[in-house]
């Protein structure tokens, strides 16, 4: 099975065939650097890092470009509030973005261009659009003429007339059409500016990405990615202005990740449900957050909540406990293997690479891929005491391959479990050993049908903020 990806432009899955055999050009819209990044940025970052890793694992040479928008109204407004130059703000939050991405185990892109370092390319692209009749000067601004580009809205599949009728658009008599958008903005007093044929000003948001992607990837390239919220207007306008300037198709495959919801509601500052990456990582291990973000298909919405993060932590802990058992078994003596009890483990291990590849080739289905890892874990837990060391060594190798692609399961099991234990027990009033002793004592009481004592132990632990969770597999605990 060959790799198939969902193309927003066609609205369907397509076989992935790069423009140049063996090579892939991929541009992903980065962040506007005026504040700390939120978990929506984390999802986009993790998704396209995963895609970057998987394409590399399939043997492609990937030229991955992710930009910084380092000049924008929001950056200028923050700089004015703090009384500092705009670049103090942009450089501060470029650094914070880089720190956040590194903490989430993301590989560095091939190029990380800044908009302000590509003003010459931006001006040159605007001049091409004016020469071809797709843009016009309006005072010290330059606008793109949507009426002149017949394929406008082919990416978002909207209707221009309906949008114009239903939109609340501020009247601007300098625009030839209400939906025309800015390529160059004349500077206001006190704003940063660059010299241009149209006067002092700065680039519009959309033209920056067109100029930077073309510089590093050419006029047509393979993949353009970003969050679903960027389909319109950002990516729509990028496509329109670039194809109008070059007369060529801009991007072959448009890939967009789904939204992050907070407790089933859309993430929004106005709703007070807005979390930065730094805030989340104060409470959860970075690998847990990455694992959570990969636990759903990248195009699906994902619901961020404490319970879902705890579930992700429990799932990742379960995998690592099985792998810790493998490590321990490999360090011990070679016991006689009971082959008949290890048939399932052998099958799950030998078939993992194929199943994993099939899942990833189906539009990067990480949810299904992780499901196959859990199948392997179940088989490990059944067979571990009797598994031959050669088979367990193969298990480690297969999991390492998954780790390379997904960017999780790459920690040493004992170290990960120790990190999680430290987080769970931080500030606790009772030692872990005492909790486990009381759980064992409670299990004996329940076995003897002494339910009064069992309840007393549960209440004693609850008074110390330890909640017991009973299941068919036994009793576990968590901090309230």
- Which is nearest to 244 in space by CA: 116, 118, 154, 111? 154
Peptide bond preceding 49 in cis form (omega within 30 of 0)? no
Q: Distance between alpha carbon 247 and the CA centroid of its chain, in Å?
A: 33
* 29 belongs to an annotated ligand binding site: yes
Taking phi first (over 0 means left), then psi (-120 to 50 degrees means alpha), and beta for anything else, what does residue 474 get? left
* 209 belongs to an annotated ligand binding site: yes
- What backbone torsions phi and psi does residue 174 show, to the nearest 5 degrees? -80, -15
For 43-107, the DSSP string reads HHHHHHHHHHHHHHHTT-EEEEEEEEE--SHHHHHHHHHHTS-HHHHHHHHHHHHHHHHHHTTPP
* 234 belongs to an annotated ligand binding site: yes
Q: ∠ CA(283), CA(300), CA(20), 5° rounding?
A: 110
| Count of beta carbons in the 10 Å neighbourhood of residue 93 | 21
Contacts of 284 (CB under 8 A, 6+ apart): 309, 313, 423
Contacts of 318 (CB under 8 A, 6+ apart): 374, 377
- Which is nearest to 475 in space by CA: 441, 428, 443? 443
CA distance 104 to 371: 21
Identify the residue whose tokens are 């959570």.
292
* 238 belongs to an annotated ligand binding site: yes
3-state helix, strand, coil in the chain (%, to 5): 50, 20, 30
Pairing of strands 260-262, 302-304: parallel
* 349 belongs to an annotated ligand binding site: no
Identify the residue whose tokens are 């070679």.
334
Enumerate the known binding-site residues for Zn(2+).
29, 209, 234, 238
Enumerate the known binding-site residues.
29, 209, 234, 238, 269
Enumerate the known binding-site residues for ATP.
269
């Amino acid at each position: 099975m060959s790799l198939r990806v969902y193309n927003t432009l066609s609205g369907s899955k397509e076989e992935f065939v790069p423009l140049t055999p063996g090579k892939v050009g991929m541009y992903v819209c980065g962040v506007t650097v005026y504040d700390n990044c939120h978990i929506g940025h984390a999802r986009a970052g993790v998704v396209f890092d995963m895609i970057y890793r998987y394409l590399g694992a399939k043997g492609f040479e990937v030229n991955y470009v992710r930009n910084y928008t380092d000049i924008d109204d929001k950056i200028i407004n923050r700089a004015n509030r703090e009384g500092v130059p705009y670049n103090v703000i942009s450089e501060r939050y470029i650094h914070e973005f880089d720190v956040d991405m590194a903490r989430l185990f993301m590989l560095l892109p091939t190029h990380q261009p800044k908009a302000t370092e590509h003003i010459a390319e931006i001006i040159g692209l605007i001049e091409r659009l004016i020469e071809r009749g797709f843009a016009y000067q309006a005072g010290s601004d330059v606008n793109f003429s949507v009426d002149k580009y017949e394929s406008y809205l082919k990416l978002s599949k909207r209707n221009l007339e309906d949008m114009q009728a239903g939109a609340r658009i501020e009247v601007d008599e300098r625009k030839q059409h209400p939906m025309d958008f800015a390529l160059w903005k004349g500077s206001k007093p006190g704003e940063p500016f660059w010299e241009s044929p149209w006067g002092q000003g700065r680039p519009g948001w959309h033209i920056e990405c067109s100029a930077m992607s073309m510089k590093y990837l050419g006029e047509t390239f393979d993949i353009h990615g970003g969050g679903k919220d960027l389909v319109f207007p950002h990516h729509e306008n990028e496509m329109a202005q670039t194809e109008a300037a070059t007369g060529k198709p801009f991007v072959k495959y448009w890939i967009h990740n789904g939204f992050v919801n907070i407790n089933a509601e859309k993430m929004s500052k106005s709703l007070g449900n807005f979390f930065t990456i730094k805030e989340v990582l104060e409470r959860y291990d970075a690998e847990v957050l990455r694992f959570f973000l990969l636990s759903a298909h990248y195009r699906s919405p994902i619901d961020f909540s404490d319970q879902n993060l705890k579930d992700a932590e429990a799932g990742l802990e379960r995998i690592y406990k099985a792998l810790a058992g493998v490590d321990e078994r490999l360090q011990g003596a070679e016991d006689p293997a009971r082959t008949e009890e290890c048939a399932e483990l052998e099958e799950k291990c030998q078939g993992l690479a194929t199943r994993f590849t099939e899942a990833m080739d189906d539009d990067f289905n990480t949810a299904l891929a992780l499901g196959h890892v859990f199948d392997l874990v179940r088989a490990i837990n059944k067979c571990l005491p009797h598994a031959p060391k050669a088979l367990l060594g193969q298990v480690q190798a297969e999991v390492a391959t998954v780790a390379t692609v997904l960017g999780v399961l790459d920690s040493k099991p004992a170290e990960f479990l120790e990190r999680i234990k430290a987080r769970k027990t931080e500030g606790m009033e009772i030692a872990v050993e005492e909790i486990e002793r009381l759980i064992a004592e409670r299990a004996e009481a329940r076995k003897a049908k002494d339910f009064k004592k069992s309840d007393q132990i549960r209440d004693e632990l609850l008074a110390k903020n330890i909640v017991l969770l009973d299941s068919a597999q036994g009793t576990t605990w968590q901090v309230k």
